[in-house]
Amino acid sequence: NAGVTQTPKFQVLKTGQSMTLQCAQDMNHEYMSWYRQDPGMGLRLIHYSVGAGITDQGEVPNGYNVSRSTTEDFPLRLLSAAPSQTSVYFCASSQRFTGGGEQYFGPGTRLTVT
Amino acid sequence: GNSVTQMEGPVTLSEEAFLTINCTYTATGYPSLFWYVQYPGEGLQLLLKATKADDKGSNKGFEATYRKETTSFHLEKGSVQVSDSAVYFCALSDLQGAQKLVFGQGTRLTINP
């Protein structure tokens, strides 16, 4: 299994541009999520999905859109990039809660908005 | 809301030293607790977990005990190695079915030979 994969690994955008960060998992996990990692702030949840066709907002959803058309894929769209969205983005997946709750993380996408 | 507070870093130790990284939490109910580790240039990996009070999670020589009375989940290792240099995150899991993780700010650990 490849686990959780993310593309691209690095991206530079200009303010106002849009782009999609890709995330895929091959573990048949129902739950997927997007986090951003900023220095001194840990990881913060952007959006999450408990299954195909179901998404919801996390702690910091503004400026981002998601959709979940398949179990495997969970892309994150930046609608109009801003310098405040400069961050490292991680996608994660897990089985639906059964008492363990651990998540599997992708390698991350480092995004710089100038 | 739920929150996690970790010991401020960075932490620098010599090889074979004893390690403690403090973690306390605020949560309603009985969350699951986790320690994740992030090695340079990589994503997060689960290090250990505990799902109920008094459970002890352990892995790779690291241990942490779920203490409900003090709302703590401190990470310990008796003898650290250079390869333990990484960023460590304490986290809790929302039990409302969606498994939303709430993270502490992370503690950067550097081990010198």
**pLDDT 10s digits, B33-86:** 999 999 988 889 999 999 889 999 999 999 999 999 999 999 999 999 999 999
Contacts with A37 (C-beta within 8 Å, 6 or more apart), sequence order: A43, A44, A87, A88, A89, A90, A108
Cβ-defined contact of B51 to A100 (cutoff 8 Å) = yes
> Do the Cβ atoms of B49 and A102 come within 8 Å?
yes
What percent of chain B stands above pLDDT 70? 96
Give the closest of A50, A99, A103 to B101, CB-based. A103
A50, A91, A97, A109, best to mutate vs chain B, most B CBs in 10 Å? A97
Give A108 to chain B, closest Cα distance, Å. Answer: 6
CB-CB: which of A50, A94, A105 is closest to B43?
Answer: A105
Q: State how far the Cα of A104 lies from the Cα of A91, in Å rounded to an integer.
A: 8
Residue B96 CB partners (closer than 8 Å, separation 6+): none
Q: What is the pLDDT of residue A95?
A: 84
What would the mean pLDDT of A95-100 be, rounded to a whole number? Answer: 66
CB contact under 8 A, B101 and A108: no
Whether B44 and A107 lie within 8 Å, measured CB to CB: no
How many other C-beta atoms are found inside a 10 Å radius of the C-beta of residue B53?
Answer: 12
Give CA B27 to chain center in angstroms: 16
Which of A11, A25, A7 minimizes the C-alpha distance to A68? A25
- Decide if pLDDT at A1 tops 90: no
Distance CA B101, CA B36 (A): 11
What is the DSSP pairing of strand B56-59 with strand B44-50?
unpaired
Compare CB distances from A99 to B43, B45, B51 and report the shortest one's residue: B51
| Whether the predicted pLDDT of B98 surpasses 60 | no
A9: DSSP letter? S
Chain B hits for A99, Cβ within 8 Å: 32, 51
- CB contacts < 8 A, A to B, total 72
**Radius of gyration over alpha carbons of chain B, in Å?**
14
**What single-letter DSSP state applies at residue A73?**
B
Beta strands B107-112 and A43-51 are unpaired
Residues in chain B within 8 Å Cβ distance of A43:
44, 89, 101, 103
Q: Is A30 helix (H, G, I), strand (E, B) or coil?
A: coil
Q: What is the rounded radius of gyration, in angstroms, for the C-alpha atoms of chain A? A: 13
Average pLDDT value for residue range A28-34:
93
- Chain B residues with CB inside 8 Å of A48's CB? 98, 100
- Mean pLDDT in chain A? 93
